[in-house]
Structure formats: structure tokens, C-alpha cells
Structure 1
Amino acid sequence: MHLAAIVAHPDDAEIFCGGTLAKHADRGDKVTVVYMTRGEYGGGSDTTKAEIAATREQEANTAAETLGVETAFLDYEDGRITYSLENRLQIVDTLREHRPDIVLTHFRDDMHPDHRTTSRLVTDAYYMSSLPLVETVNEPWEPQNIYYVGKPTSSFDPDVYVDISEYQSKKEDAIRDHESQVEWLQEHGGIDAEFDDLIEGVRAQARTLGRTRGVEFAEGFVPLHKHTTAYLD
């Protein structure tokens, strides 16, 4: 099975579904994290956007090695992902290029505009990816399902849970690989205050979800289709 997480920024996949990605990679599934942007707004005025982007790409690749996954970057601009037919077709072609069975992406209701737009683009591209008359570089492909990840501040209400008890530490290590962002969010949490202490916050969320399933740590998802032949577990 092949999983592809399509997320807006470096560190999004690690924070929201890093344990699940590591678990599937460990069992031999192919796992790819596709980053829409390089997160060049995630830094202070003492450096340039280009420097931040280069740092974050390097950190993402380091985190990928920790999780045992592959990476790809689509070169959208941080904070400026827009919904358009052109962008939707690019995501269609991305799905056709990577040919995942399961797609993971942001939940539609999220405080960050890049997350919301990514969710919509991926969802609509998922529908179009299998249509033979939608022409892109790569051949049509039909993923089996989308699983959405969300933030505690949204209306996200998971009904699929993955036990990541054996992978929580690896998930935390992968988040720490995003060293610049762990420091940045610690100092500039602001409206993202739930991530002021990023590692502790992520661990607490996983522990809370785990308790609902009788395990130590879990990650939660909302599937697009309730009945499917491709499952996260």
C-alpha cells in the first residue's frame, strides 16, 4: 500500500500524523509526504524568506529519514496558496505521479488559510484524478480514500483512530528535527497558542486520543468515505 500525505508546510505531517506515517513505513508500506510550500513565513525578520525555506526543506528531509518516508515539494508560496483550476490540476497530476492508495491531508475547517485551501484542492483533485478526459502529464489514477487530519481548535471530530503507542517517540523525534520551528513556535505561538510548547502539546493530544481507544497514544482521522478497501490502522 502507498500513503501520500499532502500538507501545506514542513512539519504539518509530523505534527498531525507522524506516528501513523512511521507505523505504515515500518510495516513496509510506501509513504510519501508532499509539501505544498517550504514554509518561508516561519521565521523572524533577522533572516530572509529564502534562507528560511532552505532551512525548512533540509529539516523536512531530516524528519523524513527519522520517519522512514519520502518527500516531495510543490513550490507554492507560504501563506498564499490559492484555489484555482490550474492549482487543482497540479494536484491531480501530483496524485497521478505518486499513485497513492490513501491520501492524508488537512481537515476543511482549520484556522490556517493554507490548510483550508490545501484541503479543498486535494479533495477536488482526488475526484478528478481518475477521470480519463482530464488531461495532465501523468496517467489517471484513482486513490481509494482521503483521511483528514485536524487541529484541536477546529470542529475536527475524528472517528478513525490509529494506535501509535510504539511510534510516539519517533514522531516526537521527527518534530524535533524541525528545530527552527520548534523554537519559533515556542517564542511566537500567538494565535497558535496550543503549540506554544509544541512537543508537550502534541504528546498531550495523542495521549487524550489514546485514552478514548484504550491505548497509550493515538492519532485521529476523519475519512472521506466510511467504507473503503484501503484502511489506516
Structure 2
Amino acid sequence: MDLLAIVAHPDDAEIFCGGTLAKHAARGDDVTIAYMTRGEFGGFDTTQAEVAETREAEARAAANVLGADVTFLDHRDGRITYSLEHRLEIVDLLREYDPDLVLTHFADDMHPDHRTTSRLVTDAYYMASLPLLETAAEPTDPDNVYYFGKPTSSFEPTVIVDVSEFQETKEEAALCHESQVAWLEEHGGVDAEFSDFVESMRATGHTLGRQAGATYAEGFTQLHETSVEYLE
């Protein structure tokens, strides 16, 4: 079973679905993280280019911990826009990787990049299987799209994945984003749930875990009312 996580910024996948990605990778599934941007706004006292270079390196290190491959789509941080061109770009991404399952942001999220990414992925999902829509790759038909969300949105997960055995891996991957640990903690006035980076992840995971009788879990909603092993 192949998984493709399409996220707005380096560290989004690790924070919100890192345990699930690691769990699938550990059982031998092909897992890829596609980053819409390199997160060049997420830094202090340096240039956007320098921040982007640092964050790409951190993302590659984190993906290696999770057992995932990575690709970058080169959108601008904070400025992902919805357009037919960008939707077709995601169609091609889906067709190139031909995943069974797609993971992305929940539509109702405080960050505009997350909201736009969610819409692009959802709409591209519907177009990716159309045989008369010609792009660089052949049509594909993933089984489902799973959405992860932030506690500050209206996100109410209906699919809970037990990641207790992979919480340590998730934290190790998240901490590869060394530049973001300080950034998110300093930026706590906006992203209040990240006032303590690791403890916030643990608290969220533990709260979700109680719903599934697990120590730690990750939560999703699904586009279609179907379920598969691990994402059920």
C-alpha cells in the first residue's frame, strides 16, 4: 500500500501524521512526503533563501527517520494560491506516485497555506482518474484521501490510528526540524499549541489515544466512508 502525504511546509507531516507514516513504512509500504513549500518564512534574522535551504535539509533528515521519500513542489511559503495550473500540478503528482492513500491538511485550518493545499489536493484527487485529462503521467485512482488537522480548527477526527509504537520515531523526526523548535515555541502567540513543541505533540497524541485505548494516536477524517488497515 503506497501513501502520499501532501503538506504545505517542512514539519507538517512529522507533527500531524508522522507516526502513521512511520507505521506504514515499517511494514514495507512506500511512503512519500510532498512539500508544497520549503517554509522560507519560518526563521529569524536570516534570508528566506537561507531558511529554505536549512528547512529542506531538515525535512530530508526527518523523512529518513520516518522511512519516507521526499519531493518539493517549489510554491512560495505563505503564498500558495489556488489555480487550475496548480490543481493540474497536483494531478500530475498523484499520477506520478500512484498512491493508494493520500494524506493532507483538513480544509478548516488557521493557516492559509494549509487550507489552499487541502482544496488543491481534494480537487486534484477528483481529476486524477479522468482518462481524457491528458497530463505528463497516466491517470490514477487513489482509494481515499485522509485529512489531518490542528486543535485550533473545527477538526474532529473520525479515524484514529494507534501510533504508540511509533511515537518515539515521530518525535525523533520532528526534532530533526531543529530550526523550527525555537521558531514554533517563540511563535506561540499564534500557534499556541506549540508553546512546548514535543510536549504539545505528546499531549495531542495521548488525548487521541484515549479514544482508541492506546497510549498515543493520530486522528484523521476521510473523504470517503471506507477504511483500510492502520487508517481505520
- The aligned counterpart of 1:87 is 86
Q: What is the alpha-carbon distance in structure 1 between the residues aligned to residue 160 and residue 227 of structure 2? A: 15
What pairs with 1:87-166 in structure 2 (closer than 5 Å)? 87-166=86-165
2:6 partner amino acid: I
- The aligned counterpart of 1:13 is 13
- For 1:21, what is the secondary structure of its paired residue? helix
More displaced 10-residue stretch of structure 1: 126-135 or 186-195: 186-195
Q: What is the alpha-carbon distance in structure 1 between the residues aligned to residue 142 and residue 217 of structure 2? A: 24
Q: With structure 2 as the length reference, what TM-score do the two structures score?
A: 0.98
- Deviation for aligned residue 1:30: 0.4
- The aligned counterpart of 2:28 is 28
Structure-2 change in CA distance of 1:18 and 1:229 (3 Å): closer
Number of residue pairs the alignment of both structures matches: 232
Q: What is the alpha-carbon distance in structure 2 between the residues aligned to residue 69 and residue 17 of structure 1? A: 12
- The aligned counterpart of 2:207 is 208
1:31 partner amino acid: V
Q: With structure 1 as the length reference, what TM-score do the two structures score?
A: 0.97
Q: What is the alpha-carbon distance in structure 2 between the residues aligned to residue 222 and residue 53 of structure 1? A: 30
- For 1:167, what is the secondary structure of its paired residue? helix
Q: Does 1:172 align with 2:171?
A: yes
- The aligned counterpart of 2:221 is 222
CA contact (8 A) 2:161 2:230 kept: no
Q: What is the alpha-carbon distance in structure 2 between the residues aligned to residue 230 and residue 132 of structure 1? A: 29
Structure-2 change in CA distance of 1:75 and 1:185 (3 Å): same
What residue ranges of structure 2 are gaps of 5+ in the alignment? none
- For 2:57, what is the secondary structure of its paired residue? helix
1:66 partner amino acid: V
CA contact (8 A) 2:104 2:146 kept: yes
Structure-2 change in CA distance of 1:105 and 1:69 (3 Å): same
Q: Does 1:75 align with 2:45?
A: no
- The aligned counterpart of 1:38 is 38
1:141 partner amino acid: T
- Deviation for aligned residue 1:186: 1.4
What residue ranges of structure 1 are gaps of 5+ in the alignment? none
Q: Does 1:52 align with 2:51?
A: yes
1:198 partner amino acid: F
- Deviation for aligned residue 1:183: 1.2
